[in-house]
Amino acid sequence: MAATQIDTLASADREHRTMSRGEIEQLLEKHHQDGFTWALACCRRNRDFAQDILQMSYLKILDGSARFDARSSFRTWLFGVIRRTALQRTRKYSVRERVLKALFIGRIEPNHQCPYTMLEYSRNSEELVQALLKLSTQQGTVLQLVFYHDMTIEEAALVMEISIGSARTHYARGKKNLASILKGSKHEYTQ
Amino acid sequence: MNIPNDDKITSGFHRLREEERQAAPPYRSPLETVSEPRLQPGNWWRARFALAASVILIAVIIVLKPVPTDHSGDSVAQPPDDFSELESMLAHEMPTDFLLDTPWYQLADTTPDFNYIFPSYEYPEDQTHEL
């Protein structure tokens, strides 16, 4: 009876055990590059914003504001945290940035983007990035997750917090639109 | 109709991934970047107490500070014994004095005569010797 009780306690401990900070940091370090590239995709390829969002997400995870409950893989969950943090940041600063741009930058050069905040890409990658930015947010996101991060559509739906059916629709339409946008490019994406 | 080629799209995305991964900054724990340690609850109360004490001390110093007495009215300015310096100052002519000679400037220095006749007044006799 004593042995049964110990087994029960051990399994309970396994299920409800919270990860230590060291373990979490190890996992964060392991997925750091993926996290950064995903943050880039969430910030329209703005490197500075991506770094900010990544740090904010790490803080959320390490101070316990965001808790991993093992319902998905750690990477999928991390992507969800990063995406949500990016959305919160966008909502928080969008009005202020629009006003400042309209007042100071918009009159000089519309849609001005600081070159120092953008990465340098090869020609093909630049075309792909510009094409992705032309797609709707949902279509670009699902294509990024599936083709770039090698996720399944089900995992992409988990990250995006939408149904699998919606994810499939966005995937199909996004792929078609991407191919038509890149039709004239040197690197053909159609067969 | 264009049929998207998954392999080509995948290879394009993978090339982009490699380029972006190279630009990723090295991993740094966000907790290590916090340079200043946060105040513990006990330290926080001590800091508040020190702040309040310093404010009270400054207020007490301001209230109890002795007000300096103004003795400037006690001394009477004495006339100078020698007027030669004053005379030399009055006699000095600035090289730009000619600029003051505007047309009709004499009007400013003269009092017009309106043929005013002062009323006659009889002064009383001096009676000081009677007091």
Q: What is the pLDDT of residue A36?
A: 93
Examine residue A150 and state whether it is found in any structural domain, yes or no: yes
Closest residue, chain B, to A51 (C-alpha): B25
Query: Which residue, A75, A95, A119, sits at the end of a domain?
Result: A119
pTM above 0.80, yes or no: no
Token pair 């965001």 in the structure block, residue? A66
Question: What is the number of structural domains in chain A?
Answer: 2
Residues A85 and A127 grouped into a single domain: no
Residues A103 and A144 grouped into a single domain: no
Tens of pLDDT along chain A (191 residues) come to: 444 443 333 333 344 456 788 888 889 999 999 999 999 999 888 888 899 999 999 999 988 888 888 788 999 999 999 999 999 988 888 777 777 777 776 555 545 555 556 778 888 888 899 899 999 999 999 999 999 999 999 999 999 999 999 999 999 999 999 988 888 665 556 55
Residues A109 and A131 grouped into a single domain: no
Chain B contact present for A179, CB below 8 A: yes
Examine residue A11 and state whether it is found in any structural domain, yes or no: no
Best residue in A36, A118, A135, A177 for a mutation probing chain B (most B CBs within 10 Å): A36
Distance CA A43, CA A86 (A): 7
In angstroms, what CA-CA distances link A30 with A73, A74, A84, B41, B55?
A: 13, 11, 21, 35, 51
- Total CB pairs under 8 A between chain A and B: 89
For residue A146, the 8-state DSSP code is I
A60 vs B32, more confident: A60
Q: What is the pLDDT of residue A177?
A: 92
The most confident of A38-42, B31-35, B94-98, B122-126, by mean pLDDT? A38-42
Q: Which residues of B are less than 8 Å from A64 in CB distance? A: none
Q: What is the pLDDT of residue A65?
A: 86
Identity of the residue in A119, A143, A180 whose CB atom sits nearest the CB atom of B2: A180
Closest residue, chain A, to B23 (C-alpha): A119
Residues A159 and A109 grouped into a single domain: no
User: E-assigned strands of chain A?
Assistant: none
CATH number, residue A114 = 1.10.1740
Examine residue A161 and state whether it is found in any structural domain, yes or no: yes
Query: Which residue, A86, A119, A152, sits at the end of a domain?
Result: A119
Residues A28 and A102 grouped into a single domain: yes
CATH number, residue A155 = 1.10.10.10
Residues A104 and A130 grouped into a single domain: no
Residues A107 and A71 grouped into a single domain: yes
Residues A96 and A138 grouped into a single domain: no
Nearest partner of A26 among A3, A4, A58, A49, judged by Cα: A58
Residues A97 and A140 grouped into a single domain: no
Best residue in A32, A38, A63, A82 for a mutation probing chain B (most B CBs within 10 Å): A32
Chain B contact present for A176, CB below 8 A: yes
Subunit contact B4:A178, Cβ cutoff 8 A: yes
Q: What is the pLDDT of residue A10?
A: 35
Examine residue A3 and state whether it is found in any structural domain, yes or no: no
Closest residue, chain A, to B34 (C-alpha): A59
For residue A147, the 8-state DSSP code is I
Q: What is the pLDDT of residue A69?
A: 81
Min distance A129 CA to chain B CA atoms (Å): 8
Q: What is the pLDDT of residue A164?
A: 94
- Residues 6 or more apart whose CB falls under 8 angstroms from that of A171 comprise A139, A142, A143, A146, A153, A156
- Residues 6 or more apart whose CB falls under 8 angstroms from that of A50 comprise A36, A39, A40, A42, A43
Average pLDDT along chain B:
76
Examine residue A28 and state whether it is found in any structural domain, yes or no: yes
Nearest partner of A146 among A127, A132, A125, judged by Cα: A132
Residues A86 and A140 grouped into a single domain: no
Q: Chain A 50-109, CB below 8 Å of chain B: which residues?
A: 51, 55, 58-59, 62
Q: Which residues of A are less than 8 Å from B30 in CB distance? A: 55, 58-59, 62
Residue A109 is part of which domain span?
Answer: 18-119
Q: Is the ipTM of this complex over 0.85?
A: no
Residues A138 and A171 grouped into a single domain: yes
Residues A101 and A129 grouped into a single domain: no
- Which of the residue ranges A40-54, B68-82, B109-123 would you say has the lowest mean pLDDT? B68-82
Examine residue A9 and state whether it is found in any structural domain, yes or no: no
Best residue in A23, A147, A173 for a mutation probing chain B (most B CBs within 10 Å): A147
Q: pLDDT confidence of B78, banded at 50, 70, 90?
A: low
